[in-house]
Amino acid sequence: MKPGRYCLYSLLCILMLSACQPGGSRREGAREAAQACDSTLQDAYRQLKQKITDPQQLAQQLKDFYNSCPEACRKQIATPLIEDLFNIAYANHQTEPLILPFFRELAAAAQISPTQRGKALLAIAGYYIYARRETDSAFKVLETVRKGYPALNDTLAKSYHSMMGQYMVQTSNPKAAADHYLKTIALCEKLKDSSSLAANYANYGTVFSSMGEYQKSIDMKEKAAVFFKAKKQYPHLLIGYIGIGVEYARLRRYDSAQHYYNLALDLINQGFRNPNAEFDLYISIAGISLAASQYDTARYYYGKITETIDLARDTERQRVYVMASTPAFAAVRNVDKELELIKSYIPRFCAESDLTNAKDAYYTLFHTYYLEGKSALALENYQVYDSLKSLIAREENKQYVAEMETKYETQKKELRIQVQQKEIYRSNVLNGLLVALLLAGGMGVAFVVTRIKLKRKKKDADLQQQFTRQLLHNTEEERGRIARDLHDGISQELMLLKHGISQADCREKIDMIIAEIRMISRDLHPVMLEKIGLKPSVEHVCSQMMERNLLFITTDISYTNSLSSSHELQLFRMIQEALNNIIKYAEAQAAKVTISERPGFTCTEIIDNGKGFDVTAALSNGKAFGLLSLTERSKSMQGRTEINSSPAGTLIKIEIPRSYV
pLDDT in tens, 256-300: 999 999 999 999 999 998 888 999 999 999 999 998 999 999 999
Q: For 415-418, which contacts have Cβ atoms below 8 Å and span 24 or more sequence positions?
A: none
**Average of per-residue pLDDT across 49-77:** 89
Amino acid at 283: I
**Average of per-residue pLDDT across 360-371:** 94
pLDDT of residue 3: 40
pLDDT of 176 over the 90 cut: yes
In the chain, where are the structural domains located?
383-516, 534-660
Where do the H-state alpha helices sit in 108-253?
Answer: 114-126, 135-148, 154-170, 174-191, 194-210, 214-230, 234-250
331: helix, strand or coil = coil
Indicate the average pLDDT of the chain.
81
Q: Please name every residue paired with 422 in a beta bridge, in sequence order, or none if there are none.
A: none
Residue 393's pLDDT band (cuts 50, 70, 90): confident
Q: For the segment 196-209, what is each residue's pLDDT rounded down to a tens digit? A: 999 999 999 999 99
User: Residue 574 and residue 404: Cα distance in Å, rounded?
Assistant: 40
**Average of per-residue pLDDT across 530-540:** 86
**Average of per-residue pLDDT across 332-355:** 92
User: Residue 84 and residue 438: Cα distance in Å, rounded?
Assistant: 80
Residue 80's pLDDT band (cuts 50, 70, 90): very high
3-state helix, strand, coil in the chain (%, to 5): 80, 5, 15
pLDDT of 1 over the 50 cut: no
Given a contact cutoff of 8 angstroms between Cβ atoms, the answer to whether 559 and 656 are in contact is no
User: Residue 427 and residue 432: Cα distance in Å, rounded?
Assistant: 9
Looking at mean pLDDT, say which of 1-10, 115-124, 166-175, 562-571 comes out highest: 115-124
| CATH class of the region 534-660 | alpha beta
**Average of per-residue pLDDT across 173-183:** 93
**Range in 14-23, 66-75, 251-260 the model is least confident about:** 14-23
- Higher pLDDT pick, 29 / 80: 80
Model confidence pTM above 0.85:
no
pLDDT of residue 488: 52
pLDDT of residue 511: 66
55-68 and 75-91 helices, crossing angle to 10°: 160
pLDDT of 240 over the 90 cut: yes
534-549 and 565-581 helices, crossing angle to 10°: 20
pLDDT of residue 288: 94
pLDDT of residue 90: 87
254-269 and 234-250 helices, crossing angle to 10°: 160
pLDDT of 564 over the 70 cut: yes
Residue 433's pLDDT band (cuts 50, 70, 90): low
pLDDT of 619 over the 70 cut: yes
pLDDT of 446 over the 70 cut: no
Amino acid at 350: C
pLDDT of residue 12: 39
pLDDT of residue 18: 41
| CA proximity to 369, closest of 357, 381, 360 | 381
pLDDT of 327 over the 50 cut: yes
**Average of per-residue pLDDT across 370-386:** 92
